[in-house]
Amino acid sequence: MTDQTTPAAEVAALRPQPKGFGVIRAAFRERRTLAMLLLGFSAGLPFAMLFGTLNAWLSEVDVSVATIGILSWVGLFGAFKFLWSPAVGLHLPLLSRLGRRRSWLVICQSVLALVFIVIAASHPTGGAIGLLASAAAIGAFASATQDIVIDTWRIEAADDHLPVDLLSSVYQLGFRTAALVGGAGALVLADTAGWPATFFAAAVLMGLGLLGTFIAPEPLVAAEKAVERERIGSPALRRTALFVTLAAWAWAGFMLIRFMIMALTTVPAPSAGQFIQSWGPWIVAAAVLLPAALAGVLVWRGRSTAPESQPANTVTERFYDAILAPLVELMGRLGWGALIVLGLVLSYRITDGVWGPFAYPFYLGTEGGGLGRTMTEVALASKTFGVVMTILGIGLGGWALVVVGRMPCLLIGAVLSAATNLLMMDLAMGAPVIDPFMRATGLYGLFSVFGVGEPLARLMAAIAGENIAGGFAGAAFVAYLSALSNRLFGAVQFAVFASLALLIGTLGRAPLGELVDREGFAPMFQFAALIGLVAVVFCLIEWVRLTLERRKVERLQAKSSKAL
């Protein structure tokens, strides 16, 4: 595949490229880095406000748990955003001067700002709850769409001078900063100025995202010929694969809409978590795995036929280029390695995501090894100190990605994510390891300077280790997925990867909840650490695969140079 180049780009390619810390220094002297930071903030703020802070407001005014449950399904937009990811490849005629990516960002960010204003003007009681719920749903959809566009821009904007690894770390830094502002910061503001003022402030802060959009340079449009190369196999086979894929996506969309209607009209409302656990695997199989298998068949059957070189002249061909061509390119590039990539994507963040819903019961409860901490203590340890530690982990991950490399960081992140579950297991067992360690190192004395007692100090130390590891692994994982996605098809490919990684962590939560009820929290954390070893194994296998591919390319290049 070839990308469009300019004389300026050719000259830049001849210049010596910075390495190590030089990359970081060079990156922060150009506008793409600032744009990425602001766009990361723009992605993180709606996530924090709509899926966390809004629930705090509802709880404070005594909105029923059933109603909060109805609103919880808006999170499904993020889990299934790959279903409409091809749409962001369309040009928006009224904003065409901004470019394809920036025009979509302006629309999404403007909608999100309006959503926050509507929520600020509403009140979550009486008849206004319907307006607030509708605004939250529209905001969740706009947020998920914005995520698709930002992920695509990051992949397309990266180059040797500003690698995707560094851009991914900067994005994570902006996202987590927004989580701190929209989480702990929003709660403090709500306590002093009230909830309407808090959401109005969020609408104003979306202006930072708009600023990032206008700062961001529009990436070059990829050559049409590169899309045409993925039009392989017979026309009849392509049409069949496309129609089957569209039917599978239509069924997945129907299931989602059906659940949403049930959530709004049924009392008590069904659980979004239970919906994902029951239907999530089938939806993933129909909407992702089946199209990927069909793409593999097209690659296999199309090896003996030349790709079509004509522009898309029919609606069917345009749909094929938007939906199946990204998967055909991915399967053709990865081959059997797609199985390794799929295993890595599915397993990498499961060790963190699988026990996420049980964090508050563990921190606040007293049974089964629960810590019995107060809400104030948990807010300090998790929502403030913990977010800062996550940002620290992201910073370490960004530095390591540039200095050490992508695959070493991915492996280190997998090991740390698995191992830090043992810190939580130790707390659940009464801290037989953490307690003597903190006494021997004087950490208890350090925490006491800030008025933090020993029980809370142990929790903060464990959260520090777990969140630093999570931030490091998150930066490495986003960088890996971004590098894995082709610049031409980043919207669909990254959305599929991200959705798979998000969904898989929810599937094992029901059995884990039963395990906690039976045996307490310690066995749950031990199990999470063990399943984290699966990601470690896949990281090692993927590292070997990439090494063999690189050596194969080097041998071919050596043969070509000798022939010349």
**pLDDT at position 331, please?**
87
What average pLDDT score do residues 406-419 get? 94
Residue 8 has pLDDT above 50, yes or no: no
Burial status of residue 483 (CB atoms within 10 A of its CB: 0-12, 13-18, 19 or more): middle
Rounded Cα distance, 381 and 473, in Å: 20
Query: Which residue is listed with tokens 């070493």?
Result: 408
**3-state percent breakdown (helix, strand, coil) of the chain, nearest 5:** 80, 0, 20
Rounded Cα distance, 39 and 518, in Å: 44
**pLDDT at position 506, please?**
58
pLDDT (tens digit per residue) in 449-500: 988 889 999 999 999 999 999 999 999 998 998 888 887 777 788 888 887 7
Higher local confidence (pLDDT), 252 or 437: 437
Core vs surface per residue 336-367: b (16+ CB within 10 A) or e: ebbebbbbbbbbbbbbbbbbeebeeebbebee
Residue 225 has pLDDT above 60, yes or no: no
**pLDDT at position 458, please?**
93
Residue 12 has pLDDT above 50, yes or no: no
**pLDDT at position 279, please?**
79
pLDDT (tens digit per residue) in 498-554: 877 776 665 555 566 667 777 888 888 888 899 889 999 999 999 999 999 888 888
Higher local confidence (pLDDT), 259 or 224: 259
For CA atoms 405, 407, 411, 414, the dihedral sign is positive
pLDDT (tens digit per residue) in 89-123: 777 877 778 888 899 999 999 999 999 999 998 87
From the CB of residue 564, how many other CB atoms can be counted at a distance below 10 Å? 5
Lowest mean per-residue pLDDT among 67-76, 147-156, 221-230, 452-461: 221-230
- Distance between start and end Cα atoms, the chain: 22
Secondary structure element (H or E) that encloses residue 328, with its range: helix 325-334
Rounded Cα distance, 344 and 127, in Å: 47
Rounded Cα distance, 275 and 298, in Å: 33
**pLDDT at position 412, please?**
96
pLDDT (tens digit per residue) in 38-61: 999 999 999 889 887 887 788 777
Q: What is the CA radius of gyration of the chain?
A: 24
**pLDDT at position 270, please?**
65
**Residue 324 near residue 260, CB atoms below 8 Å:** no
**pLDDT at position 203, please?**
96
From the CB of residue 180, how many other CB atoms can be counted at a distance below 10 Å? 19
Query: Which is nearest to 358 in space by CA: 422, 274, 424?
Result: 424
**Residue 354 near residue 505, CB atoms below 8 Å:** yes
pLDDT band for position 433 (cuts 50, 70, 90): very high
Residue 1 has pLDDT above 70, yes or no: no
Task: Give 419-460 as a DSSP string.
Answer: HTHHHHHHHHTT-TTHHHHHHHHTHHHHHHTTT--HHHHHHH
Residue 368 corresponds to which tokens in the numbers above?
């089964």
**Residue 162 near residue 73, CB atoms below 8 Å:** no
**Residue 413 near residue 469, CB atoms below 8 Å:** yes
Lowest mean per-residue pLDDT among 299-308, 392-401, 471-480, 520-529: 299-308
Higher local confidence (pLDDT), 148 or 1: 148
Residue 526 corresponds to which tokens in the numbers above?
């031990």
From the CB of residue 529, how many other CB atoms can be counted at a distance below 10 Å? 19
**Residue 321 near residue 522, CB atoms below 8 Å:** no
Highest mean pLDDT range out of 110-114, 328-332, 333-337? 110-114
pLDDT band for position 26 (cuts 50, 70, 90): low
Burial status of residue 390 (CB atoms within 10 A of its CB: 0-12, 13-18, 19 or more): buried
